[in-house]
Amino acid sequence: MDGGWHHCQTLGILPAAVIGDFDSLPDTVINHLQESTTRLIQHPPNKAEIDLELALIYALEQGAIEMTILAGLGGRFDMSMANISLMLHPRLRDVSIEFWHLGQRIWRIQPPGDEIIGEAGDTLSLLPLGGDVCGIQTINLAYPLENENLQLGRARGVSNVLTADTATVTLENGTLLAVWTHGRA
Confirm if 142 and 121 have CB atoms less than 8 A apart: no
Q: Which pLDDT value is given to residue 75?
A: 80
For residues 94 and 21, membership in a common domain is answered with yes
Tell me, yes or no, whether 17 and 87 share the same domain. yes
The reported pLDDT for the residue numbered 25 is 80
Same domain, 164 and 87: no
Q: Indicate the SS3 state at residue 60.
A: helix
Q: What is the pLDDT of residue 36?
A: 87
Domain that holds residue 87: 4-102
- Give the model's pLDDT for residue 169: 98
Regions in the chain scoring below 70 on pLDDT: 1-3, 5
For residue 185, the model assigns a pLDDT of 78
Q: How many domains does the chain have?
A: 2
Same domain, 67 and 114: no
Same domain, 18 and 68: yes
pLDDT of residue 159: 97
Cite the beta strand spans of the chain per DSSP E: 17-20, 39-42, 66-70, 96-101, 104-109, 113-117, 123-128, 133-139, 146-150, 160-161, 166-170, 176-181
